[in-house]
Amino acid sequence: MSASALPVACLLGPTASGKTAAALAFAALHPVEIVSVDSALVYREMDIGTAKPNAEERAAAPHHLIDIIDPAETYSAAQFRADALRLVGEIVARGNVPLLVGGTMLYYKALTQGLNDLPTADADVRAALDADAARDGWPALHARLAAVDPQTAARLAPNDSQRIQRALEIFMLSGQPMSALLAAPRVQDADAPYRFVPVALEPSDRAVLHARIAARFDAMLAHGFIDEVRALRARGDLDLSMPSMRCVGYRQAWDYLDGATGYDEMRDKGVFATRQLCKRQLTWLRAMPERVVVECCAGDATERAVAAIRKTSKV
């Protein structure tokens, strides 16, 4: 990386940690354009369940990589990396301050560490794996994965359909286990013009975040989340095999509308799935020794985050 690389702040954190409030507080003080680092916000028609910034919040500062694809489409970490690098360059050229905000750590990793040479998704392979799973169950496919890629299988739950499918897809397309490909050197830019600095909103007491998650999920339900999912189902071209419908909350609401669960069970499963997402996000963050940590449970968390972003961005 060039010694003259421009520092760019990346406000990262688990769900309900206060990222939006901190980003908008910083944007109120500087000419900021926000680039979303969130794999759920890319989808149109998915507003409530993704906690998407509302119209007023998005009017406070330009936002990018929100509402850019249809839920029937896919968006990869490679696409995010290319789009984010392009957008940062355009924002800087306009004389504004880029601020990356989100909680999809895979996107951040792709942006800052480059990409492995993994095969892209293949609809035919995925359809075949979905058919096998419908017949035999995902634990059977997990066992199949363990036979060809024990290292990857060991870190996946037997019902983690999305990751099991991806790992098997990679093996079927490349003939190599995903663990071996991930261990290979990454493709990176030799002279990256930017130095991305993570500012991490993290809780000292995870129970506080858990309470926020439950309150947020209940608020989503009160504001029409089930109706949002009902409308998506009514389109007729979406199903639970698609990345959009695998977003936290959407799968649980879909099962409820299918009659597979009751309302209270759906609510509890949605809250639990969100807490599990939070746990994974914190695990990613804590593997970044270079991050600037801000206590997100503090009463002045927003002010602390703004100060850290300002220092990082040198504005």
Q: Using 50, 70 and 90 to split pLDDT, how confident is the model at 1? A: low
Three-class SS of residue 314? coil
pLDDT recorded at residue 176: 86
Query: Is there a binding annotation on residue 39?
Result: no
* pLDDT score, position 118: 80
Report, as an integer, the average pLDDT of 244-257.
Answer: 96
Count the domains in the chain: 2
Flag whether 18 is marked binding: yes
Residue 251: inside a domain: yes
19 among annotated binding-site residues: yes
13 is in an annotated binding site: yes
Which of 185-189, 224-228, 293-297, 301-305 shows the lowest per-residue confidence on average (mean pLDDT)?
A: 185-189
Q: Which domain-ending residue is among 163, 183, 203?
A: 183
Is residue 94 scored above 70 in pLDDT? yes
Asked whether residue 17 is marked as a ligand-binding residue, the answer is yes
Q: What is the mean pLDDT of residues 152-176?
A: 92
Q: Residue 82 carries which DSSP code?
A: H
Considering the domain architecture, whether residues 303 and 283 belong to the same structural domain is answered as: yes
Are 58 and 192 in the same domain?
yes
The annotation status of 120 as a binding-site residue, yes or no, is no
- At residue 184 the predicted structure's pLDDT band, cuts being 50, 70 and 90, is confident
Residues 20 and 43 in one domain: yes
Q: Cβ of 288: how many Cβ atoms within 10 Å?
A: 16
Q: State whether 159 and 255 are in the same domain.
A: no
In percent, the amount of the chain with pLDDT more than 90 equals: 81
Q: Is 274 annotated as a binding residue?
A: no
Q: What domain range includes position 139?
A: 123-183
Give CA angle at 94 (91, 100), nearest 5°.
Answer: 20
Tell me: pLDDT of 3 over 80.
no
Same domain (yes/no): 176, 191: no
pLDDT for the residue 119: 84
Tell me the mean pLDDT in the region 132-149.
94
Q: Is there a contact between 9 and 313 (Cβ–Cβ < 8 Å)?
A: yes
Known binding residue 224? Answer is no
Q: Which residue has the tokens 């406070």?
A: 60
CATH code, domain carrying 27: 3.40.50.300
